[in-house]
Amino acid sequence: MLKLSILPAAVILLGTILPVAAQTETIPAKLQRDLRTSAQGAVVSLHGLDVASCPRISTSQTFIGGKLIFSDSPESPAGPGILYMDTNLAPTDPSTPNRVFVYHVNASASAKMKFSILIKNNGKFAAALTVRRTGIAGPSANYMVVGENALYRWLTNSAVISRPVRPGQTARLDASFDSINVGPGDLLNGIWDYTFDQPHAIIICSLRPKDDPLTAAPSLRVLARDSHDRGTFEHCNKMCVTTAGTRAVQWFPIGGRGDIYVAGYDNSVFPPVPAVNDGNYGVLYTIKLNVTSPPGALALLINPQGGPWCGAIDAAPGLLPGGAFVIPSNGKAISDSSSAAVGGEYFTRGRQNVSFQFMPAGASSFPVYITTARFSRDR
């Protein structure tokens, strides 16, 4: 998974309001015209505007939600093995799901492979395993599209599947996922939110296509980590509440440059090793932007700063429809820091909140700058 290693990343609970300053920046005329006519998800040029030199929106940062079980190391196994395991997970709160994020490539020279997620009931009583959200994409050699589609499918999936797991029993988290045969060089990405009301273990493994996960997994060894991340991280969500101010253009980062990364442990080795999720892949950001301004139009833009990026977001409606959508809308990554994708547009009057949800998608590079741009609706 591509990433840009810089300073830590997170979501935000309390906003630190920047001093209100006079609006002195100007938005290039072409960008003004583009914002008047662009659809959500469209790519616009920022030529003539240096976002990084504009005022930064100050934020404080807090993680929330259940655990994030993250498996991306070794990212590209060449054969069967345990990719990640945690044998000591606590029961979840019914209203606070854990999240599993699995991102692996088949590195075999010629053989197909499959991946499986198993949950074992370590408790004394029958457990209810409830999968509340699922997003699966791949297998494919187009890693950017896989990461984007897995996230979009997770954002738009509302099916709830529940089944019992007896004490001591091991169950497959998602039988449809571990039935997918992955060709050499192809990526498979899955995201699930689940609850389990007993102590439990999770095992994520790579297998041969004909292997039965339930019988093959116990005999597998834990594969060594590579340069990518794996672990059980303290939280899977972040809340960001901050202030846009009255400047023409402002920004704050996701996935680096002061955004705090979620911390945890690689519990598949003993003793457990401290781990950091560089880029906060799999962490859902809920961003609430407090807007205080005279009447006018405000565009919410996503500006790549670390390399190729694409994904999906869920934005509040405004001048554009909002909802969950792939961004950029053409399904292609953008990498030029002089361009941005339109996440939403809003007519602001007095004080109001603008909100959206964002998750760093697999295969994309970070950071990105969440950028607000005030523009005139008059042609």
Annotated domain spans of the chain: 29-64+235-375, 68-233
Q: What is the pLDDT of residue 57?
A: 87
Q: Which of 27-31, 73-77, 220-224, 233-237 has the lowest mean pLDDT?
A: 27-31
CA distance 182 to 347: 47
pLDDT higher than 60, residue 379: no
Instruction: Report, as an integer, the average pLDDT of 359-369.
Output: 97
What percent of the chain lies above the pLDDT cut of 90?
79
284-304 vs 237-243, strand pairing mode: parallel
CA distance 3 to 6: 9
Going by C-alpha positions, the residue among 266, 246, 242, 270 that lies closest to residue 254 is 242
**213 is written with which tokens?**
């996960």
pLDDT in tens, 321-350: 999 999 999 989 999 999 999 999 998 876
Instruction: Report, as an integer, the average pLDDT of 206-225.
Output: 97
Q: What is the pLDDT of residue 25?
A: 60
pLDDT in tens, 42-57: 999 999 899 999 999 8
Q: What is the pLDDT of residue 11?
A: 29
Residue matched to tokens 């091991």? 170
Q: What is the pLDDT of residue 24?
A: 41
Mean pLDDT of the chain: 90
Residues 6+ apart with CB under 8 A from 19: none
Query: Do 189 and 150 meet the contact criterion of CB atoms below 8 Å apart?
Result: yes
CA distance 163 to 144: 33
Instruction: Report, as an integer, the average pLDDT of 373-379.
Output: 79
CA distance 42 to 50: 20
Instruction: Report, as an integer, the average pLDDT of 259-287.
Output: 96
pLDDT higher than 90, residue 276: yes
Query: Do 144 and 310 meet the contact criterion of CB atoms below 8 Å apart?
Result: yes
pLDDT in tens, 124-166: 999 999 999 999 999 999 999 999 999 999 999 988 999 999 9
Instruction: Report, as an integer, the average pLDDT of 181-202.
Output: 98
pLDDT higher than 60, residue 3: no
Q: What is the pLDDT of residue 246?
A: 67
Query: Do 194 and 130 meet the contact criterion of CB atoms below 8 Å apart?
Result: yes
CA-based R_g, the chain, Å: 21
Instruction: Report, as an integer, the average pLDDT of 81-90.
Output: 98
How far from 144 is each of 188, 203, 330, CA to CA, in Å?
A: 11, 26, 13
- Phi, psi angles (nearest 5°) of residue 216: -85, -35
**285 is written with which tokens?**
């950001």
Query: Do 119 and 129 meet the contact criterion of CB atoms below 8 Å apart?
Result: yes
Q: How confident is the model at residue 352 (pLDDT cuts 50, 70, 90)?
A: confident
Residues 6+ apart with CB under 8 A from 300: 289, 315, 342, 343, 344, 345, 346, 354, 356, 370, 371, 372
Q: What is the pLDDT of residue 13?
A: 26
Backbone angle region of 41, left / alpha / beta, with phi > 0 → left and psi within -120 to 50 → alpha: left
Residues 6+ apart with CB under 8 A from 28: 46, 47, 48, 49
Residue 190's SS3 state is: strand
